[in-house]
Every structure is written in C-alpha cells, then in structure tokens.
A = this chain, B = another copy of it.
Amino acid sequence: MTHQIAILGASGYTGAELVRLIATHPTFEVAALSADRKAGMQMRQVFPHLRHLDLPELVKIDEIDFTGIDLCFCALPHVASQQIIPSIPEHVKIVDLSADFRLRDPADYEKWYGQPHQAVGVQGQAVYGLTEFYRDQIRGARLVAGTGCNAATGQFALRPLIAAGVIDLDEIIVDLKAGASGAGRSLKEHLLFSEMFENVKGYSLGSTHRHLGEFDQEFGAIAGRPVEIIFTPHLIAATRGILISAYLRGEAQAIHDTFVAAYADEPFVQVLPLGQAPAMKDVRGSNFVHVGVVGDRRPGRATVIATLDNLTKGSSGQAVQNANLMLAEPETAGLMLAPLYP
C-alpha cells in the first residue's frame, strides 16, 4: 500500500533530502510540496539534481489539499512550524523537523529560543523523535518532533552511558565538528564558500548552543537529576556530517560493553571494535551512526567518537525512519542506502 506524503518547506536542504530518500522508498509517494517563496516553480528548478523525478509543483501551504495525505513532513524553520502545525487536519500524521516541539516544557523553549511557545497544546502531543530510544511512543504518535542534528549525535554517544551509570555525569565534555548544511540554505556571510573553505571556527561557545536544551532535557530524564554537559560546536569545511569527540570519566571497556549491549539489535547504529574511531565520511549520505570508544593514557578516562550525516540520520533520514514506524512500515524501509565514499 502506498502512503501519500506531503512535504512543507521543500525548498530547503532537509526538504530536498526527504525527496531524495522518498525517491527510492518502496511505499511512500510525494503527493504535495510546499515552498511559499518559490510557489509555482518545479522542484527541478530549485534543485536540479532531482530533475529525473516526476514531482508535484511547489505550492503555498494553504493550497495543499490534505484530504488524501497520510503523513506530512514539516521542514519549515522554527516558529513557522508551530504556527502551521495546529492547522493541519487531524487525520494527517506529522513529523516535524524544526526545533519547535522538541522541548517538552514550554519554559525550556522560551529559555533556549528566546520567545514564548505559541502552540503549547500541540506540544503536549509531541513525541521526541530519536527513534532508537522512543520507538514505542513514536509508533502510536500523531506528531513526532525530529531532534536537532547535533543533539542526535551527542545522544547516540551518551544516552546508554548515562543510563548504565558508567560515566561521571558531572564531567562530560563534548567537542563537535559540523559541516555547513546543518545551517541550511540561508544567506549568511559566515556560510559563504570563501569564508568556510580551509577554515575551522567554534560557535555558540561556552555551552550556549540551543541543542543543549535537548541534551539537558533528555540526559536529565535518564539520570533522574540535572546533567549539564560542556559543549562546543565547530563549523568545518564540509557539507554533510557531524563528528563528536566526547571526553569522559569512565572505563573504556565498560563504556564499550555498554554500547555493544545497547546497540546490538539496532540496524542503523554500528559500534566499532574497542580502540577504533570512525571517520566522518564513513556515514555520508546514509542513515548510519558509527560509534567508537578509545581509552586514554590516564586511567579512568575515555573518549567516545560518534558520527552521522546531519541531513540523513540527523534530520531527514531520522524523519523517514519515524514515519515508517507511524505508518506501520518496516523501520528500515527506504533507508538502507550505503554511505557514499569517497
């Protein structure tokens, strides 16, 4: 049975990535695409790499007839998402890729995003979208809130360790390296090629990045007490990919054992042999996460290195994975594409 899919905000990178994945998905079919400022254009005019696909014209959101739509991916910017989602008909399941429904407490939203939440009621129905850890709730959800891409990477590296109590919760330091596409197709000076090429730069320094709202919420819930990690992202000269190095207090062997147990049955999470670390390009274009653990010359210290593709597992691939569950399809449907290397 084919599921009819709508994508709101199709002219951004996560929108294009959704279309790429659905193009070879066995049961999903793109039925509607919105892009307010590009309404009236064909997708191939906005993204020529999709030229071979027969896709509906881009329209404004209010032009979409949701009657036959089974599921809607909402790839709009935050704030826009919370304004639109309440108006989507109840029969339509929703996977939101924005930041708007990730934080369960509206006060947290206001703290990290600087303004009051405008759809507190809908927020209450949202399930946090990190599939591997919210599988059961996602299956029955009407609205799933996709995670931040940085937040996803950090959680794959830390959730099992916090749950198992194998690391010191007060000494978690995460250094993150991320490519440009996580910032989308927006026109900002620091995203220009000439600025980024042969460059590395920290941003949101001093543990001020918004995705810390997700870390705080999730890690606190697992630990049953506040967990405040130290977190610095760096923008690197890559398009896709996030790699984190987490500096931890704990035994490497216990950490590795914990990962092996936690991820044994996960189709998308690969744990490397103890002492090995993944490279960022090993997951490019795929829905896989690679996780490695290395001990340190200092006893009781270890480093966890984890990597994923921000546009796939960090956002649009995760969204399709969640949609598969919501529509009772196999979780891996359309997502077993191997990484593109080199």
By a beta-carbon cutoff of 8 Å, the part of chain A in contact with chain B is 13, 16, 19-20, 23-24, 47-53, 173, 175, 177, 179-181, 185, 187-189, 191-202, 205-208, 212, 228, 230, 232, 234, 236-241, 243, 245, 247, 267-268, 270, 272, 275, 277-286, 288, 290, 294-298, 301, 303, 305, 307, 336-342
A230 close to B301 (CB less than 8 A): yes
A58 to B50, CA, bound (A): 36
Copy count, this protein chain? 4
Contact of A198 among B197, B288, B305, B337 (CB under 8 A): B197
Contact A240 to B199, CB < 8 A, known contacts A19-B338, A245-B175, A342-B181: no
Residues of B within 8 A of A337 (CB): 23-24, 337
A240 to B47, CA, bound (A): 19
Contact of A283 among B49, B185, B307 (CB under 8 A): B49
* A163 CB, min distance to chain B CBs, angstroms: 22
Residues of B within 8 A of A298 (CB): 207, 228, 230
Residues of B within 8 A of A286 (CB): 49
Residues of B within 8 A of A241 (CB): 198-200
Contact of A187 among B188, B196, B228 (CB under 8 A): B188
A185 close to B177 (CB less than 8 A): no
Residues of B within 8 A of A20 (CB): 338-341
Contact of A240 among B301, B305, B342 (CB under 8 A): B342
Contact A192 to B194, CB < 8 A, known contacts A20-B338, A338-B24: no
B232 close to A245 (CB less than 8 A): yes
A212 to B175, CA, bound (A): 20
B188 close to A191 (CB less than 8 A): no
Contact of A177 among B206, B236, B268, B281 (CB under 8 A): B236
Contact A282 to B192, CB < 8 A, known contacts A206-B296, A342-B13: no
Contact of A49 among B51, B189, B245, B282 (CB under 8 A): B282
19 pairs, CB–CB < 8 Å, chain A vs chain B: A52-B267, A179-B194, A179-B198, A180-B197, A187-B189, A193-B239, A197-B238, A197-B239, A198-B238, A198-B240, A199-B238, A199-B281, A200-B243, A200-B280, A201-B279, A205-B305, A206-B303, A232-B245, A285-B285
* A336 CB, min distance to chain B CBs, angstroms: 6
Residues of B within 8 A of A338 (CB): 19-20, 23-24, 49-50, 52-53
* A238 CB, min distance to chain B CBs, angstroms: 5
A51 to B268, CA, bound (A): 11
A232 to B23, CA, bound (A): 34
Contact A208 to B297, CB < 8 A, known contacts A238-B198, A282-B49, A290-B51: yes
